[in-house]
Structure 1
Amino acid sequence: MRKLTHILLLGLFVGGLFFSGCKSLKAPEQLPTFAPTPDSFNGAAHSSNAADIHWKSYFSDPNLVSLIDTALANNFDIRIALQRIETNKAQAERAKGLTLPFVTGAGTVGQRRFGKYTMDGIGNYDTNFSNNISENQRIPEHLPDFNVGLQSSWELDIWGKLRARKEAALARYLASVEGRNFVITNLISDIASLYYELMALDRELDLLKETITLQENELNIIKIQKDAGRSNELAVKQFEAQLLSTQGLEAEILQRVREAENRINFLLGRYPNPIIRSRNLFMTGLPNQIKAGVPADLLKNRPDVKQAELELAAAKAEVFISKAAFYPSLNITGALGLQSFNPQFLISPQSIAYNLIGGLAVPLFNKTALKAELKMARAAQVEAVYNYQRSILNGYFEVYNQLVLINNLEKIYDFKRAEVDVLNTSIQTASDLFSTGRASYLEVIFNRKSALQSRIDLIDVRKRQYFAVIGIYRSLGGGWK
């Protein structure tokens, strides 16, 4: 009766500990709160979102599409990200396996001899004189031991600690998948930006070659005028210096072309190769009008935001694991097999042996390490909260800034194009006036230089427009779907 009472008291104690522990473990953590995300980016919300457009539809240039396809297959950052996914996947599978019993097969062969003045030695010696055992059961002085069977251990997940570890590993695995998607988004954006930079440099080279031809003609004319006494050596040197300056600029642009091509080749995971690109599409048009959707779309489209959200989920699970470490762990170990000191009786029903042990362990003293683990887990959780909110805020401002930039670049392009038209007209005017002696050669040089710079600026504005529409596609989370 007393024994039954002790068992009941122990059961009540364990049950009370279990329910109080569950309540404590499920208590919510105090985490920072933040203002809600705005309903729109710039006062106008769109139901559609450019991030939902497949990148092959967003970028219609076939040469660019081919480059991106090659990069997606060969880029080393993507390959590294894929291996990181495999690592986290294996860790998730390992965490799942920890919730199941471990069963191993084992076989041992050994021999031992007990001292005559030990408890086992005296007991074995005395047993051999018993009339209750057969001759085959008598224990030899040099005692063999043959054992074959199964061994098992299992930690019962009474607090959900192992389940939380599995959830944390799964969240990190999914976060690594989003990390790969983020790499893809940035890779597509980088290649597209470099591609249009190359197209802009090609346009600048065409412009410089055209300008060099005109300047060479002007230099020849001024030399003829000098020979005729209508000009002087200073004018010749000024025109010659202008030509040399333009030729130097051409060499600089050629260097930038090689560097941009090599950056693309690196992203494609290959050694230097020619970059095939379109020549006549740069100034003709841009991708379709951008639809930014609503800021809430960032949560489902931007891989970095989703990655931060999953890292936060993993951090929350780690806090739960650290809290559960303060509570008892219940382990069950067991073995089932055949054991005999005589090998001829090993494979027989009489040699069946087993054991089954349940153990309850709870930390009582010196919990400093456990408390430190909990503090670190809580700090990591708060850090993950801040990182998640920062990723949302960063995504919002990236989209907002790109939308403003796109609108302003349209105005800048119109102004710059009008400026180019005016300066192109002034070049002819200055040349005509110079031919009749009503304008100096310095005015011709100044107008030519201003017109060249204005046309280069126009190309640069167009390039920035391409960069802006590429940037907003990346900022919205496009490209990885």
Structure 2
Amino acid sequence: MKWKLAPATLIIVAATGCMVGPNYKRPLVNTPAAYRGAPEVIPIGTPLGAEKYTSIFTDPVLQSLIAEALKNNYDVKIAADRVLEQEAEVGITRAGQYPTVSLGGTYDAVALPGGLLSGLGNNSGSSNSNGANSNQGHTKIYTGGLTASVAWNLDFWGYYRRQTEAARAYLRATRWAQQTTYSTLVENVATSYYQLRTLDSELTIAKDELKARKDSLELTHKLETGGSDSLVDVRQAEELAYTAEAQIPDLERQITQQENSLCILLGRAPGPIARGLPIDQAPHPTEVPVGLPSDLLERRPDIRRAEELLVQANANIGVAKAQFFPQLSLSGTGGTSTSQLKGIVESKNLYYYAFGSVSQPIFEGGKLTNNLHYAKAEDQELVDTYRQTIAGALRDVDNALVAYSKTREYREKQEKQTEATRDAVRLARMRYQAGATSYLEVLTNDANLYTSELTLKTAQQQEALSLVQLYNALGGGW
């Protein structure tokens, strides 16, 4: 009875024996109670980073572009391929914990001249038996059998289990890298789209400016013909009209190139991009719930990836330590051999042998010691990397918060300035047509309005992009 229980006991011990090396514990990280750029009264609600991108970017066209990118972008596909690769790698590594079993079979047939076998039989005093069959002066001998072999490296010290733990941690890190790819892609598509819509607005402004310049040129021509204006004013009006006209092809170039860049993100060939809401209608909520800084440790995919790499390094310390201990292995081979097919399962034709071995490293020139030192140093490096990643994430959120707040203030002031400049242009044109001022005043106010409108579009773009950056910094987009 004791011998029957021994194999089962051995299997349990080998599978659940002790594992040397430290078990993972998350490093202590001091996170602030609130973000530096957060408002004094923090809005209540679902944190921005926990919202789906469709709740943040309300432009239907932008939503469809992001969805297309998440489906067809090549970086997304590559990230998914890497996850599949690592899933297979975990299976390969985990296989080391189990015994290997192989089966085989043999079959031999030999034909000898009948006289040779008879002579051998007469000399030895034996007959042609044991599978020998005489046929037309030849004797055929048949032999065959089945074999099975088992080999098992017993995992008493957790060498293979720590390897599997490290491989699984790297698999999780690969999945978090995939989520980082999603988040970055959402940010890049939204950023590229808002830049495109800003260029569209600038092109519209340039065309309006060209029309205004042509109207001014026509007016100065009439006044110069009537003797109320000089040829100098006409030439100045012509110069400004040509300058405004030259801006259009350059903006059209930028728009086409921006469309091509966006197409790459979408995983499609270069071509036109659909348009949705103009840049001045981009979302800019007045209250943005940001949650607590400690939430970043769970929400930001780059932080989660850094932690899983740390888990992998911690497990590798156990792998390095296990190599100091004796390595135990069991092997065995068994089978059957016979010259008669019907006797292949008879007990008298069965054979087997089994053996075990123990190997204890004695001297390897410091290899094992330095391997352990390397594993510990790598673990400490990744602890520092983990903390650095958290510090960088907190910085990103603080920068994005202050950017979102200040770009809004800047945009609001720029709107007021543009409105004032637009009214100044209207009054200058009325004074010029009434002969109360020179054309120089009109030119000056026109130039100020053109610059002010372009600056306003840039301010609107910056506000939209700051929301995109804040959403990404808070761990949104995946």
Aligned equivalents of 2:182, 2:283: Cα separation in 1: 25
1:145 CA drift (Å) = 7.4
* Residue 364 of structure 2: aligned partner: 366
- Counterpart AA for 2:168: L
Classify 1:302/1:46 alpha carbon distance in 2 versus 1 (closer, same or farther; 3 Å): farther
The reply to whether residue 356 of structure 1 matches residue 354 of structure 2 is: yes
The reply to whether residue 412 of structure 1 matches residue 410 of structure 2 is: yes
Q: Is the 8 A contact 1:345 1:351 kept in 2?
A: yes
- Counterpart AA for 2:372: L
Aligned equivalents of 1:211, 1:281: Cα separation in 2: 19
- Counterpart AA for 1:40: A
Q: Is the 8 A contact 2:130 2:339 kept in 1?
A: no
Q: Is the 8 A contact 2:283 2:464 kept in 1?
A: no
* Residue 39 of structure 1: aligned partner: 33
User: Any stretches of 5+ residues in structure 1 without a counterpart?
Assistant: 1-17, 113-127, 130-134, 138-142
Q: Is the 8 A contact 1:304 1:391 kept in 2?
A: yes
Q: Structure 1 residues 208-217 or 84-93, which shifts more?
A: 208-217
Give the count of matched residue pairs. Answer: 437
- Compute the TM-score of the two structures, normalised by the length of structure 2: 0.84
Classify 1:281/1:454 alpha carbon distance in 2 versus 1 (closer, same or farther; 3 Å): closer
* Residue 473 of structure 2: aligned partner: 475
1:289 CA drift (Å) = 3.0
Aligned equivalents of 2:339, 2:306: Cα separation in 1: 61
SS at the partner of 1:51? helix
1:22 CA drift (Å) = 6.4
SS at the partner of 1:98? helix
Summarize deviations over 1:376-431 as a string: whole Å, max 9, x none: 32232222112211211111111111111111112111211111111111112222
Aligned equivalents of 1:65, 1:284: Cα separation in 2: 13
Work out which of the residue numbers 179, 202, 205 in structure 2 matches 1:181: 179
Summarize deviations over 1:67-86 as a string: whole Å, max 9, x none: 11111111100100000000
Aligned equivalents of 2:271, 2:302: Cα separation in 1: 32
Classify 1:97/1:284 alpha carbon distance in 2 versus 1 (closer, same or farther; 3 Å): closer
Q: Is the 8 A contact 1:199 1:282 kept in 2?
A: no
Summarize deviations over 1:337-378 as a string: whole Å, max 9, x none: 113588785443112111221111111112433233223322
1:180 CA drift (Å) = 0.8
Aligned equivalents of 1:180, 1:285: Cα separation in 2: 27
Q: Is the 8 A contact 2:290 2:474 kept in 1?
A: yes
Match runs of 1:383-462 below 5 Å: 383-462=381-460
- Counterpart AA for 1:316: N
Work out which of the residue numbers 269, 272, 275 in structure 2 matches 1:271: 269
Q: Structure 1 residues 229-238 or 338-347, which shifts more?
A: 338-347
- Counterpart AA for 1:425: D
Summarize deviations over 1:256-313 as a string: whole Å, max 9, x none: 2111111111111111232111245633752563211111111111111111111110
Classify 1:61/1:49 alpha carbon distance in 2 versus 1 (closer, same or farther; 3 Å): same
1:230 CA drift (Å) = 2.4
Aligned equivalents of 2:369, 2:172: Cα separation in 1: 29
Q: Is the 8 A contact 1:59 1:287 kept in 2?
A: no
* Residue 245 of structure 2: aligned partner: 247
* Residue 117 of structure 1: aligned partner: none
* Residue 465 of structure 1: aligned partner: 463
Percent identical across equivalent pairs? 26
1:136 CA drift (Å) = 5.7
* Residue 214 of structure 1: aligned partner: 212
Work out which of the residue numbers 164, 175, 178 in structure 2 matches 1:166: 164
Summarize deviations over 1:46-101 as a string: whole Å, max 9, x none: 66311111112222211111111111111100100000000100011112221111
Aligned equivalents of 2:43, 2:349: Cα separation in 1: 78
Aligned equivalents of 2:418, 2:148: Cα separation in 1: 87
1:228 CA drift (Å) = 2.2
Aligned equivalents of 1:335, 1:473: Cα separation in 2: 62
1:479 CA drift (Å) = 1.5
Aligned equivalents of 2:268, 2:348: Cα separation in 1: 70
Classify 1:466/1:423 alpha carbon distance in 2 versus 1 (closer, same or farther; 3 Å): same
Classify 1:144/1:312 alpha carbon distance in 2 versus 1 (closer, same or farther; 3 Å): farther
Aligned equivalents of 2:106, 2:254: Cα separation in 1: 72
Match runs of 1:94-133 below 5 Å: 94-108=92-106
Classify 1:60/1:283 alpha carbon distance in 2 versus 1 (closer, same or farther; 3 Å): closer
CA RMSD of aligned residues (A): 3.0
Aligned equivalents of 2:23, 2:74: Cα separation in 1: 42
Q: Is the 8 A contact 2:166 2:312 kept in 1?
A: yes
Q: Is the 8 A contact 1:185 1:477 kept in 2?
A: yes
Work out which of the residue numbers 184, 190, 193 in structure 2 matches 1:192: 190
* Residue 153 of structure 1: aligned partner: 151
Work out which of the residue numbers 63, 69, 76 in structure 1 matches 2:61: 63
Q: Is the 8 A contact 1:202 1:279 kept in 2?
A: no
1:172 CA drift (Å) = 0.8
Work out which of the residue numbers 276, 300, 303 in structure 1 matches 2:301: 303
- Counterpart AA for 2:155: D
- Counterpart AA for 2:234: V
- Compute the TM-score of the two structures, normalised by the length of structure 1: 0.83
SS at the partner of 1:37? coil
Summarize deviations over 1:110-156 as a string: whole Å, max 9, x none: 799xxxxxxxxxxxxxxx99xxxxx869xxxxx99755221111111
Classify 1:181/1:328 alpha carbon distance in 2 versus 1 (closer, same or farther; 3 Å): same
Aligned equivalents of 2:180, 2:319: Cα separation in 1: 29
SS at the partner of 1:337? strand
* Residue 314 of structure 2: aligned partner: 316
Q: Is the 8 A contact 2:29 2:387 kept in 1?
A: no
1:317 CA drift (Å) = 0.7
Classify 1:34/1:345 alpha carbon distance in 2 versus 1 (closer, same or farther; 3 Å): closer
1:193 CA drift (Å) = 1.2
Aligned equivalents of 2:235, 2:367: Cα separation in 1: 81
User: Any stretches of 5+ residues in structure 2 without a counterpart?
Assistant: 1-13, 111-123, 132-140
Q: Is the 8 A contact 2:103 2:149 kept in 1?
A: yes
